[in-house]
Amino acid sequence: MADLTQYTGTWTIDPTHTRLGFVARHAMVTKVRGSFTDFSGSLTLDGANPAGSSAEVTVQMASVDSGTPDRDAHLTSADFFNVETFPTMTFQSTAVKQDGEEFVIIGDLTIKDVTRPVEIEVELDGIVTDPWGNTRAGFAGETEISRKDYGLTWNVPLDGGGVLVSDKIKIQLDVSATKSA
C-alpha cells in the first residue's frame, strides 16, 4: 500500500486544472458530455487515518458548459437547474472508506432543493511539487446519479420508445488540488 501520510493536510481545489464533468445519454443513442467551470472546494486529508478525511465543493450551476450555448441555456432554465432560484450545487462528505488502494467518499449532494447521499469512487493519481513550489495532488472520481432523484424530470418521449435525456447521469471528477496547510 502507498504511503498516504504525504497527503495529510488541507488542500484547495484548483479550478483551472480540475474538471467537474457529467455524461448523459441523448436520444438513447449517443452521449452528451459537459462540465461546470465555476466552483470552489477543499479537502482535509488524514493519511494515517483516511476515514478522518473530508471534502466540500460548491458549484455555480450557471457555469454549465456542454459545448452548445442553446443547450446550456436550457440546462440553466427552470426545466432543469433553475439557476435563478437554485444557483449552486453542493457536496459535503460524511465519511471516507478505504479498501486497500481504493477509496470511496460518501457524502450529501444537493441539487436544487434536494439533498441525497452519494458514493464517489476515488483514485489517488499522485502528488508532486509543481514548478512554482506548490505541493499538488491529483484525484479522479466517478459516480452515477438519477437526475429524477433531484427533481430534474424534464424530458421528451421518442417515437420509437425511450426518452430524449437519460435519467442516469455519470459524474466524472478530475481534481487537482494544492496543499494549503
pLDDT digit string, tens, across residues 101-136: 789 999 999 999 999 999 999 999 999 999 999 999
CATH code of the domain occupying 5-179: 2.40.128.110
DSSP codes, 107-133: EEEEETTEEEEEEEEEEEEEEEE-TTS
Find the length of the chain: 181
Phi, psi for 161 (deg, rounded to 5):
105, 160
CA dist 153 and 141 (Å) reads: 25
Q: What is the pTM of this model?
A: 0.91
The 10s digit of each residue's pLDDT in 46-89 is: 989 999 999 999 999 999 999 999 999 999 999 999 999 999 99
Give residue 153's pLDDT.
Answer: 85
Give residue 109's pLDDT.
Answer: 98
